Structure 1
């Protein structure tokens, strides 16, 4: 039996700055995970990944990653994506300064 599809978002790194970015419903790249499009259908997720990956003038390394629906938008289910969403943990700066 195939594994059930889990919700996902599309993430990548901004081409110039290297920041972690997420694909939104409006086909834009956003730096706030809460603004990312949460994909709940596998076929739609695959099609959206193709669209996102075509924006090579803005991003590198686009991929789908597991997320859960949260009160404030998508929430990481794996520590790697939690780390990417909040940035380096050695001191508060960048994304962490806002938390």
Structure 2
């Protein structure tokens, strides 16, 4: 018996900057998972992943990540994806640096 499809987002890493990025419904790559396209159809998810994989000059390591729809948009459902939304693991870079500036 096959497993029921769970909602997804397309995620990858920005080729030049290394940041975690997400594919939005309008084909833009965004850095906030809440702006990502929330995909509830398995066939559509595969099409969107193929679209991402055809951009080797922009992204690396594209894959489908499980997601749930929250109040503000897609949210991670797995620890790995939660960790990836927080930015680099060293404090002085990327998203974490911007968060420190706002404190």
TM-score when scaled to structure 1? 0.91
Q: Deviations over 1:37-82 (max 9, x none)?
A: 0100000000110011101111001000101010011110101000
1:62 equivalenced with 2:62 (yes/no):
yes
CA distance in 1, matches of 2:73, 2:93: 22
Q: Deviations over 1:4-30 (max 9, x none)?
A: 100000000000000000001011111
Aligned-CA RMSD value:
1.7
Matches within 5 A, 1:1-99: 1-89=1-89, 91=91, 94-96=94-96, 97=99
Structure 2, unmatched stretches of 5+, are none
Structure 1, unmatched stretches of 5+, are none
1:94 positional shift: 3.1
TM-score when scaled to structure 2? 0.88
For these two proteins, the number of residue pairs brought into alignment is 99
1:89 positional shift: 4.8
CA distance in 2, matches of 1:24, 1:88: 22
1:35 positional shift: 0.6
